[in-house]
Copies of this chain bind each other. A is one copy, B any other.
């Protein structure tokens, strides 16, 4: 199940940096797992890692080639397939977050069979999940929720885990999306699970643990997003979080991909508590994470101070400031 490390990040010949978002996420959060990157001629993306060939990567111990890019239409170009086959022949496994299964490409399937390579299609899960039971499990859980999609829920969960580890707390980042799975080496892309098993898969992702252990769970979608709220609710029920952090991007005016306006932070807090109480009656909000990327230093500061006061909660930007105040709040409310 686990994706073997270290990784060689394959960037293909994508036309911009955005297409390499997955690879960049892995490099940002798991630099120790990444030996280097491999780029084809004319590649316009760069994660900042050393460029290396398949042979160099294997000689340095690379175990898995991670296809860390998305291609328009989700199709794997033939010249990428050729490089993936070479990596398999050189002894590596392969992991991707593409919509097409690696094993559905005959050349890759044959090479993997011949060389005993593992193919990880993290968009798909071959696990037979049970339906969710909603029974309380031991261990503590904090879930990142959001006013919308793509507002920083993954980074928030990762930053919570990093800050907890730094303090010597027991914690794990729990991935629920494809990039998150590549970052953690384990997890499930929840949006690709069969609908009946959303909460069951969420229960699997965050299993019973020590009472003083924290799962920092990556959120998905928003309870207020008309496309994805079902996934968000199933994840909330399956995670049965003790507490949650609300993530928000203050300059966005419409929910991603639809015409709906964004809910307020307070609406998200209230709705998450109402719904979350089904599987954890003590659920509470412990902080706000603002993605202030599009604000000036001064505007960001004022905005976060205003939100902190308005909601009487610590308010941070996990990239720009520090996760410290939120973990302080967690330690205060849940002394171990």
Contacts and interface: CB of A to CB of B under 8 A. Distances in A.
B226 A258 contact: no
A234 interface: yes
A234 B221 CA distance: 12
Interface string A133-174: 111000000000000000000000000000000000000000
Contact of A257 (B131, B237, B274): B131
Interface in A92-137: 131-135
Interface stretch (A29-37, A193-201, A285-293, A314-322): A193-201
A134 B279 contact: no
Question: Which of A133, A231, A235, A259 is packed against the most chain B CB atoms within 10 Å?
Answer: A231
Copy total for this chain: 2
21 contacts: A131-B227, A131-B257, A133-B227, A134-B227, A135-B259, A191-B194, A192-B194, A192-B195, A193-B194, A194-B194, A194-B195, A196-B227, A196-B228, A196-B231, A199-B226, A226-B237, A226-B279, A229-B275, A230-B235, A230-B237, A271-B274
Given A191-B194, A193-B194, A194-B191, A199 B135 contact: no
